[in-house]
Amino acid sequence: MWEVTLHSLSQLREDDLNAITTFLLDQPELGQESEAPEDVDVADARIAAGEELYGVHCYTCHQAEGRGIQAAAPTLAGNATVTARQPYNAIMAILQGFEARDTWPQMPAYAKVLTDRDVADLVNFLRTNWTNAAEPNAAAAAMVGSWRAAGDFPEYDANAEPQFVCPVLSTTADFDDADREELAALEPGEFDGDTLSGLVEAYQSRHPDQSSADVTAAFLGGYCPTLEQEELSYDEKSHRLARLIGAVAALAQPDAPSDG
């Protein structure tokens, strides 16, 4: 065991340690079955409420069928964090969000945006839809309220909206002024058009050794600062950024080998 502690566990990051702790605390005592909290509500109306919340707050990034967007938002269908025996990690992810990393934009914290009931409904919807078949056992007070208090997260605020923040990227966007202006001026309806396709092709010709993920990150870094200054809601900004990332990721993929 000392080898594990010295060479493995001692190297873990704090978020990894928290995940392991949550998993261990999640386990029932030997020979005992876990009991669902008393305030779990899995009526169809509650699952429907969770679906509506998904459409408002999650759909733009995680998409229909929970499939996500390449290099921008993870898939939720079949995601082990979503379908774990207990929903603690999914609850915490929604309450505290995630910082931006590489091409992955920030996921905002929803502690002030969603009530305990909202979070429970949303988690139970995620756990029971698409290919997910986990027990809908997220409870508003017993779980969400307790984790909100334990994590010292803010209470729900009816007037709160997540703050849109551009991710800090390791890849520098190498655009000339003309290309940067053309990229910044793109409207969402043009993401599938010739302008963006031409920009991606020109960028790849200048950087033939960059991976598709690097190219996607470069365009994210070139577009997001302008978007951050727009007078748009958080959802509108997130939707635009997610669509751009998805379009660039598709365009930047290497050509499939021919059959010949």
pLDDT digits (tens, 9 = 90+) for 192-246: 889 999 999 999 998 888 888 788 888 888 888 888 889 888 778 877 888 888 8
pTM of the predicted model over 0.85: no
Q: Alpha carbon 221 to chain centroid distance? A: 18
pLDDT, mean of residues 183-190: 86
235 class by beta-carbon count within 10 Å (0-12 exposed, 13-18 middle, 19+ buried): middle
93 class by beta-carbon count within 10 Å (0-12 exposed, 13-18 middle, 19+ buried): middle
pLDDT at residue 106 above 80? no
pLDDT at residue 6 above 50? no
pLDDT, mean of residues 161-178: 73
Cβ contacts of 210 within 8 Å, gap of 6 or more: 171, 204, 218
> CA-to-CA distance for 71 and 69, rounded, in angstroms?
6
pLDDT, mean of residues 38-53: 80
**Amino acid residing at 106:** Q
Q: What local confidence, expressed as pLDDT, does residue 2 receive?
A: 31
Angle among Cα 36, 68, 171 to the nearest 5 degrees reads 125
Cβ contacts of 187 within 8 Å, gap of 6 or more: none
